[in-house]
Amino acid sequence: MVDNRYATALVIGSVLSLLATVYLSVAVGTPHWYQYRSPPGNHEASNASELREDFVNWEFDEKTHSNTLVHLNGTLGLWWRCVHWLKETDPKMVTQCESFTLPQQFVPKYKKPGNDKAGEDLLRTYLWRCQFLLPLLSLAFVFLSGLVGVCACLCRSITPTLGVGVLHLLAGLCSLGTVCCFLAGMDLFHRVSVLPDGVDGSLGWSLYLALISSPLQMMAAALFLWAARSHRQNYTRMTAYRVA
């Protein structure tokens, strides 16, 4: 039988885990990790149609990609990229989004964006790949911990909760690593590709959701680990008392 304190910790940990999973899933599936804002009249209207065509039909070229996002108020995510512009005949903002294909996620980055003769920038290349793989790994850890939790319920044992806590801790580290890799990658990119005058870049709400999910997963991990360890110690003391 599980003490009420441990049961409460497990319930709170499960709620935190569910919130973290929802936040991370939304963050991964939305294109608002980073956003560019250019002032009106800075979109180079004469070249806007060409930029939009490049956005849809391009073969992955980092320079073309970034140039389109910068001049068309683009937003960038882990799996998606979007551009926003005003129609000439309609003042409403038009949004067009395209997803990164799997091969595009593993395209190497170069020391000079768009120039493959400049040599590969290994640090930026692996930061980009890690920011794509780490959130998937985090969600996989949470899913696996859910399976372990179900098994613990079926076995009517709290001992497997220790494994659930460890998996949530790993998931939290992966979520935090995703945010760190993305921020480091964007910082390195803007060092070699300076933004035009008047264009501002800022972090988007998707990144903050991912950032929030990490401490939630770690708090859930702490509760699971505490419940498993405390119950184990209490069980050991009770067993020793009965033997005595």
Predicted local confidence at residue 111, as pLDDT? 79
pLDDT band at 208 (very low <50, low <70, confident <90, very high): very high
pLDDT exceeds 60 at position 241 = no
The DSSP line for 143-207 is HHHHHHHHHHHHHT-STTHHHHHHHHHHHHHHHHHHHHHHHHHHHHHHHHSPPPTT-EEEE-HHH
For residue 172, what are the CA distances in angstroms to 26, 159, 180?
A: 16, 21, 12
Instruction: Over range 148-172, report the average pLDDT.
Output: 83
> Hey, what domains does the chain have and what are their CATH numbers?
4-239 (1.20.140.150)
Query: In angstroms, rounded to a whole number, what is the distance separating the alpha carbons of residues 95 and 8?
Result: 46
140 pLDDT band, cuts 50/70/90, is very high
Residues 6+ positions from 154 with CB-CB distance below 8 Å: none
pTM beyond 0.85: the answer is: no
- Between strands 34-37 and 75-76, the pairing is antiparallel
